[in-house]
Amino acid sequence: MYKVINMDTEKLQKKYLPLTEAAYYILISLNKPRHGYGIMQHVNKITNGRIKIGAGTMYGNLSRMEKEGLITSVAEEDRKKIYEISEKGKIILKFELARLEELLGHGKSEMGDGK
Amino acid sequence: MKEVKTVWHWWWGWNTEKVENWLEEMEKNGWNLTKVDFAQIRFSFKKGKVRKMRYCWDYPTYPKDNYFELFKEDGWESMDNKMGPWFIWRKPYENERPRIYTDTRSLIEKNNRQIRTVIFGIIVTLVILSILSIGNFAGAKLISVLLILSLAFYGYIIVQLRQNNKKIKQDAIKC
């Protein structure tokens, strides 16, 4: 955790941003502890089925994010690993939200706010 | 009497789609896969129902328990002995054809895991070759030649996987 604070903001952004849609949705879903399949269902639900994360993509993302310290495994039950977003993950997500907001803001101001 | 058949079918790690589609086609014609063995190139079928069945080849490195649990929960059935390094999964479907990889990045990472395995093979081969070059016993020359040939083969695999990565990047599926 201390390493995160010492790490340059710019370096973190360069390394992790932009997140893929799958990574983004996995990270926000892990604001609550969930296991892989639980994340898949949650993302499917909140996006009305637009985003379906495949099992291979899910496993790969979870393994990589755990290794990178963006998420941590908090428990293991019935051969399922339960994950939660870490402090570092929250920092990355904050950067990403700011980036997306900027994108959205530019789009709206250039194209006109109304429909 | 039940109609059965066994088919040998070779496949390459950079193009598993081909064998996946072939099995799907067999199922469409009522040939239900019952067993995969002999280093995953011998396929046994039984004549039965016409099915819409998706097959997927996966290459994770040292998957943990939660890997198998995740696939099982998502409705995939394992069609091998779960020893790896390749894992064969299948899932019946109606309309939308299921996939295990839904983004470009994961597909590229799958190929990169294969590349890492092949590089490991190359290093091992080079170590054996250097040992053989010091040793002086009958057959050392022959083995060396075979190993050097295998190096060319490894190189070929890496080139194919990298080309496949390039192709994936070009037709980038979004997720």
CATH number at residue A36: 1.10.10.10
Which residues of chain B form beta strands (DSSP E)? Answer: 4-8, 31-37, 42-47, 53-58, 77-78, 87-92
Say if residue B135's pLDDT is above 80.
no
* Nearest residue of chain A to residue B175 (CA atoms): A21
Give domain status of residue A115, yes or no: no
State the Cα–Cα distance between residues A93 and A72, nearest whole angstrom: 15
Is residue A83 a contact partner of residue A37, using CB atoms and an 8 Å limit?
Answer: no
pLDDT band, very low/low/confident/very high, at B170 (cuts 50, 70, 90): confident
Ranges in chain A, pLDDT < 70: 1-7, 113-115
Contact B74 A37 (CB under 8 A): yes
The pTM of this model reads 0.90
pLDDT tens, position by position, B5-60: 999 999 999 999 999 999 999 999 999 999 999 999 999 999 999 999 999 999 99
Contact B76 A55 (CB under 8 A): yes
Residue B174: what pLDDT? Answer: 46
Inter-axis angle of helices A9-16 and A87-111, nearest 10 = 80
Residues of B in contact with A80 (CB under 8 A): 66, 69-70, 73
Give domain status of residue A114, yes or no: no
Domain total of chain A: 1
Q: What residue numbers bound the domain in which A17 lies?
A: 2-109
